[in-house]
Amino acid sequence: MRLCELGYEDIPRLSSLFAQTKMHPLLLDSPTRFIDVAAVVACVHRLYATSQGLGAWLAETLDGAFVGLFSLLPIEGSADVEIHVRLKPEAWGRWYAIEGTQLLCRQAFEVVGLPRLFGYCHPDQQRVRRIMEHFGFRDRGLCEHRRQIAHCYELDAETWRERSAIVAH
């Protein structure tokens, strides 16, 4: 799998991803109109320019098939960053979430130098919760996130380094 910066030519694929009915309830807005998705891409381009190492990336298989979207986004009103993974339903269960989360954590801690990373998921998303726990994210309990109830997870850089060292051996 490879992660690629978003471009305006990706709007149709993003619109299709955001429109997936199997993906609700979501904790993210899901724009599907061309103009709204273009605004998301413009916002991500501003983030690329102003926040070294943060942004959103299109995920593709090595043969170019679209898999989903991975992102590291600033949390509004704080200095913290959250991780997002959104996959096409046909990509579920194929380890893309694990591979992409690994890449995003490496980006967050080794490139950007973040002290911690947050993740949020709907309380019913058991698969997402297991992935978070697999990477060492601590369940901080329920909270309100984007005007919805969510499970909050936190991973600190030290835990990431320890777990990465164990996996490397």
- What is the per-residue pLDDT across 32-45, written as a single tens digit (0 to 9) for each? 788 999 999 999 99
The residues spanned by each domain of the chain are 2-168
**pTM above the 0.75 mark?**
yes
Instruction: Determine what percent of the chain is predicted with pLDDT higher than 70.
Output: 92
Tell the CATH topology of 2-168: Aminopeptidase (3.40.630)
Higher pLDDT, 147 or 30: 147
Whether residue 60 is predicted with pLDDT greater than 60 in this model: the reply is yes
pLDDT for the residue 169: 46
- What is the per-residue pLDDT across 5-17, written as a single tens digit (0 to 9) for each? 999 999 999 998 9
- What is the per-residue pLDDT across 69-114, written as a single tens digit (0 to 9) for each? 999 999 988 999 999 999 998 888 888 989 999 999 999 999 999 9
pLDDT for the residue 168: 58
Q: Which residue has the tokens 């990509």?
A: 91
Looking at every residue in the chain, the average pLDDT score rounds to 88
β-pairing, 116-121 with 138-145? Answer: unpaired
